[in-house]
A and B are shown apart, each in its own frame.
Chain A
């Protein structure tokens, strides 16, 4: 089973700043099948990125995903007020599909 470790646990930033979130897999993914989701309090998650770098429909281009193998990154180029939330990575590579524990991006 792939274990995904996200870092940092919490990221304190101001609007307009750049956010860099990391997701590391316990083993190299076979096909770089890594997705990112955003979740706000009391809401369902929203798909941002899949296949490590493909933005989902309607996702602004300030969100970008990079990485391969076992190390992946979600970058938010300039934080908007609505971007403060918890972000989860998920590997959609092999069974069982697993999620990371989440990174909270909070307002500094």
Chain B
């Protein structure tokens, strides 16, 4: 069965960096686009970033563009999110999610359990 397991969350001060990882199993990882979606405490969902199945095309929300970098390693079935210059408003549970297709659906058909990022001085 499809499994997505995030790691790397934690507490960090504003302006610092953090790297999230997502390990995928149970499907052909190299065939699917992958996303990061976040949810601030008690709030709704916000799409963050997408990487196409082949890693060539990427897309970011304006709120993170220039600060976050999405990447993937298809040989190890892993997805990552490098987050730099973190702000208080980046505090959220970060979910990795699979795209319904190669990256052009922006429909999230499987989700990980999420990893919490806390940004506070």
Task: Please list the residues of chain A having a beta carbon within 8 angstroms of any beta carbon in chain B.
Answer: 35, 37, 43-47, 50, 56-57, 88, 90, 92, 95-102
Q: Are A50 and B113 in contact (CB under 8 A)?
A: no
Check if A99 sits within 8 Å of B107, measured CB to CB. no
Q: Contact mask B78-102 → A, CB, 8 Å, 1/0? A: 0000000000000000010000100
Q: How far is the CA of A43 from the CA of B93 in the complex (A)?
A: 11
Measured CA separation A88–B39 after assembly (Å): 12
Q: What CA separation (Å) do A45 and B95 show in the bound complex?
A: 9
In the bound complex, residues from chain A placing their C-beta under 8 Å from that of B109 are: 47, 56-57
Count A/B pairs, Cβ under 8 Å: 45
CA distance in complex: A18, B46 (Å):
29
A68 to chain B, nearest CB (A): 17
Structural contact, A99 and B46, CB atoms closer than 8 A:
yes
Q: Say which residue of B44, B62, B105, B107 sits within 8 Å of A100 (CB atoms).
A: B44
Nearest residue, chain B, Cβ from A46? B111
Show 18 A/B contacts (Cβ-Cβ < 8 Å), sorted by A: A37-B45, A44-B95, A44-B112, A44-B113, A44-B114, A45-B108, A47-B108, A56-B109, A88-B45, A92-B106, A96-B47, A96-B61, A96-B62, A97-B106, A98-B47, A99-B45, A99-B46, A99-B47
A88-B114 in contact (CB<8A): no
The answer on a CB contact under 8 Å between A50 and B107 is: yes
**B111 and A99 contact, CB distance less than 8 A:** no
Task: Select the residue from B44, B113, B114 with max chain A CB neighbours within 10 A.
Answer: B44
Q: B73 at interface (Cβ–Cβ under 8 A)?
A: no
Q: Can you list the 8 inter-chain pairs with the closest CB atoms, starting with the nearest? A: A44-B111, A92-B106, A99-B45, A50-B107, A97-B106, A47-B109, A97-B47, A92-B107
